[in-house]
Structure 1
Amino acid sequence: MEESSFLEVIRSLFGKREPVLEELTPDEEAFFKELLAFRELEVADFLIPRNLVKSLDITLSWEEVKSYVITNPHTLYPVHREILDHYKGYLKLKDIIRGFNSSIFNWQDFIKPALTLPENITILTALRKLIEQELDLAFVVDELSELVGIIRVEDILKELFLTPRRCLRSDPEGWITLSGTTKIRLIERCLGITFPDGDYETIAGFILYNLNRIPRKGEKFSLPPLEIEILNADEKQIKEVRIKKIP
């Protein structure tokens, strides 16, 4: 990604004004320097795959929407017609709440437009497009224009600003604590390792792919290139792990 494109993102985040490093605190300066190191990450690194996307059918009644939101609480809801591939845009929870005490509410009037992005562009390019159009969510397609998932501004900012700093921190014995949803590509960059090919994108997916089961809390095992300990898991998912690079 060109340096000018990166600076455009920073200017967008700071009201079109480029931050001057001398004006920043040491923590803020370190933050921006770390951000530079991740400017080549792609949209695929931050993707919520389509099988995990919770979406509203545009034909749902208001009562059906309220019922769905209560049982599936999120801040943003993609909207589709009949199937997810026919996506129309997205809805904010705060807009849904406006009519929660009403028996009649035209929730479709609050649907935000759909932004479509290819999965192979850099995440900072995607973030710039989202900021420019004042959108919180984008739909991601592959080279055949088939929907593969969504990305959200909130997730991008969390990953770019928090995960890299956390990932690079290990305890004195070299162990790193991570969420089960941490991306494999990020771990590879943090630890300077390469994972074997497989059908997985996260550390939890890597574990499930190799064990073919959900391990119990407290289990420890080696799956090259890592030693792994399960810190938190239930019968449905791996929530938190500790990892250590195998010497």
Structure 2
Amino acid sequence: MSDDSPHSSNGSSSKGWLDKISQIFNDEPQTKEDVVDVLAIAAQNDLIDQNTKNMIDGVLEIADLRIRDIMIPRSQMITLDLSDGPEKFIPAMIESGHSRFPIVAEDKDHVEGILLAKDLLKLLIDRDKEIIIKDLLRPIVVVPESKRVDSLLKEFRQNRYHMAVVVDEYGGVSGLVTIEDILELIVGEIEDEFDLEENQTDNIRKVSKHVFMVQALTELDEFNAFFNSEYNKEEADTIGGIVLHQFGHMPEKGEEVEVGGLIFKIHTADTRRIQQITVTVPKFDEEGSES
């Protein structure tokens, strides 16, 4: 007599995802997409928690990113002018809460070095000693926009530096990148007492300065509030529904579409539904126009 008990269906289900994992590793496809599939199955079956999956996803994602994708743009760089004295440096340091500052001469294209707040503070104790800022500067590390993020992280660790100046193909300074920017791609936002609270939710996770990972089932009200967007609830209740409506078909992983100024890329999906989407917010230059 065959076993038609309720437990048999659960056993088949369990065997199904185990077979899929086994098949992937037995075939040794060596593709990132297969690894992502395994992680999704493992999370769905509580073999790993969501935080662990997010961190592994972050490690996989940085392999596809370039420094230009995560850098602090030139317009948002906090710099100090070499011609100013400590009396001007200190208020700026306190206001920003940062510990490292590019020191510039003339403009941001002329970075003379990096000043560590702790180096300056040590000398402030001795008020009789003249402080020569140029003598306190650490060497700058310059990297191209096109450099891979994972490669820079390796250099950060090997050479024990924490900040690099980013230049474009013409040699002009286009931004700044820190080791914290890279680590946040893996572990999520690293907040300290100086960080402003961000409206980050479990459904929306920041991947880089302009890229966010969003659950497709995120309610439209929550999505609109986070991105200051105005997608119409008459079309769908979730952001996944809006994206699906725009495609007009069930999209596959990697397909992109622009809706209302935001770029949506399918991160994970099956034959029936979209699961995760990456949302890219356009960058803006110093004049406020889209770059």
Q: TM-score, normalised by structure 1?
A: 0.57
Other-structure match for 1:157: 183
1:169-227 CA-to-partner distances (Å, cap 9, x unmatched) read 986xxxx2356x9544444xx669xxxxxxxxxxxxxx9xxxxxxx989977218xxx9
Contact (CA 8 Å) 1:46, 1:151: kept in 2 or not? yes
Farther-moved stretch of structure 1 (101-110 vs 80-89): 101-110
Other-structure match for 2:104: 80
Q: Distance in 1 between matches of 2:82 and 2:142?
A: 18
Using a 3 Å threshold, how does the CA distance of structure 1 residues 182 and 130 change in structure 2: closer, same or farther?
closer
Unaligned runs of 5+ in 1: 1-25, 164-168, 193-206, 208-214, 229-242
1:70 Cα shift? 2.9
Matches within 5 A, 1:54-203: 54-103=78-127, 104-162=130-188, 176-178=203-205, 183-187=209-213
- RMSD (CA atoms): 3.8
Using a 3 Å threshold, how does the CA distance of structure 1 residues 100 and 155 change in structure 2: closer, same or farther?
farther
Q: Distance in 1 between matches of 2:168 and 2:160?
A: 23
Which residue identity lines up with residue 167 of structure 2 in the other structure? V
Contact (CA 8 Å) 1:99, 1:105: kept in 2 or not? yes
1:147-183 CA-to-partner distances (Å, cap 9, x unmatched) read 11000111211123326xxxxx986xxxx2356x954
Contact (CA 8 Å) 1:130, 1:136: kept in 2 or not? yes
Q: Percent identity?
A: 22
Q: Which has the higher contact order (CA 8 A, sep 6+)?
A: 1
1:104-129 CA-to-partner distances (Å, cap 9, x unmatched) read 43343331111111101211112222
Contact (CA 8 Å) 1:57, 1:82: kept in 2 or not? yes
Aligned length: 173
Q: Distance in 2 between matches of 1:216 and 1:191?
A: 15
Contact (CA 8 Å) 1:66, 1:100: kept in 2 or not? no
Unaligned runs of 5+ in 2: 1-47, 190-199, 217-222, 245-291
Q: Distance in 2 between matches of 1:43 and 1:151?
A: 8
Using a 3 Å threshold, how does the CA distance of structure 1 residues 133 and 88 change in structure 2: closer, same or farther?
farther
Q: Distance in 2 between matches of 1:85 and 1:62?
A: 22
Q: TM-score, normalised by structure 2?
A: 0.49
Q: Distance in 1 between matches of 2:91 and 2:146?
A: 36
2:230 counterpart of 1:221: yes
